[in-house]
Structure 1
Amino acid sequence: MFSARHPKKGLGFPILRILVLICLGSCALLDFAVAAYEGKETGEQALLRKLFSHLQDGDILLGDANFENYFLLALLFQAKADVVFEKNGARHIDFRKCDQKLGSKDGLFKLTRPVRPEWMSQELYDQMPAELVIRAVKNKRRTIITTLLDAEEYPRTEIIALYLKRWHVEIDFDVIKTTMKMDMLRCKSPEMVRKEICINFLVYNLIRALMGKTAKHIDKTPRELSFKTAQETLVSFLQTLLGASGDWLEQKIINVLDIIGQHIVGNRPGRSEPRAVKKRPKPHKRLQHSRSQARRLKKYQGK
């Protein structure tokens, strides 16, 4: 999940929350939900509930500790999707008291249904199971909660290794916000802002599709390729591709795939970055009017 800003305030929602569902293997954006940055039903869990219809039987959902919630686990269980979440800080897990021990720092626990939250109707609350069985596994740094209960089919080390791949989504967020410049939205009305978001995500998926084709062409995985290289190569060849046809078009497409395939990104397991930015705020006021209007307003007049 990430946020996006509008350069002007007072235009419906200057800051948005955007929750995206991204495929770990292909990097494709499967679905997304948008809400105002503040207010009821605008949090990450509320947005995820809007995306349940996209989940299919057998899917495994990776998420951070914010999603590790009893009712979210129960709803995902009903959707027949498995989860691998980091343990919520409020939940106490004691491996000495697990209901069934599966190994060192690996066991099954029974969770009891808590009181009904405000967002849930009484009818839906009554449909929630009185108990949930979850599995907890731990390494030196974190505890992982999962609904993959079979220790033989899903070993502890593989569960932890899978969760560590969640870092890839942070790279995908950086691509969307920085490389595609979606951290600042330009349209003014809420309807046009939503269209702007959709167009950006469409272009993102088109570039990811080109990277998928390249990965198959050079026998690599899509995550081994550079998004920036794919974007710049596509822009460089755009006019040539639009004017090509037949065998010449096929040859130009192969040239594009070869160029993209020459830039392989490194494997950086266990990557962790500080939640801080290098860019310093400028001492000047934010320009929230057109330049012609700003020249006449006293608030922009410097000494």
Structure 2
Amino acid sequence: MSDRDPRLDSAAEIRARIDTSTPHSARFWNYFVGGKDNYEPDRELGDHIKEIFPGLVDVALTSRHFLGRAVRYLAGEQGVRQFLDIGTGLPTADNTHEVAQRVAPDARIVYVDNDPLVLAHARALLTSTPEGETAYLDANLYEPEAVLKAAAKTLDFSQPVALMILNTLGHVADYDQARGLISQLMAGLPSGSYLVISDSTSTSAGMVAASEAYNSSGAVPYYVRSLEEITGYFDGLDLVDPGIAQVTQWRPEPGSASGTSTSVDAYSGVGRKP
């Protein structure tokens, strides 16, 4: 089944909201992971940042691999059947619903984003196994109560939900506000739910320089944070082993391309709500 947002049918309105004259984080990230949904300003900035800090490409790719491992762990080992993915980004291979429903065909997934280009591609996301369901919300991280209310049309909040916020929180300039948004979202989920986060970190001069170059490009700024700040997102939750780790080191799968020993300036964690 699919639950389509009626705004998806307003193609002209969606196109009018897309600004291709300046770089955009979703398109920029799409370029780094080898996608085709990007424009010249995104590619120019991407090439410039590759010169400053080539390691950001590894961050993009390995963060995507972490998503797959986290979803497989939750769906396969913990029996989670519901996922709320905020900051969806542009669809590539192995989106949350594809990974989850490969393990559990009855899984339900709600994607949340408020970017018009992502919205324009939502039809590609709104696919599902017959047993499961996917939905897309054109909604804003800054309105957690509205997100939860809308997501409740698809998800059963009496059962555990995995809240996925990957490479998104850096858009929230104020760290305390970012933590507050997470707290509000997790407060609306039942015991046994999970928080899944990965993000770039200020753990090298190269990453800091790349972040500064990105923020001066005209794109909506993205702020990399310290390892201590990433850890703080999980206050009050029980961290899943191995705790907060580089995205390459969170439960790597031996012999799989999804796990690598590469050291990257991106950390991740999965926490369970008691």
Q: What TM-score results when the alignment is normalised by the length of structure 2?
A: 0.28
Larger relative contact order (C-alpha < 8 A, sep ≥ 6)? 2
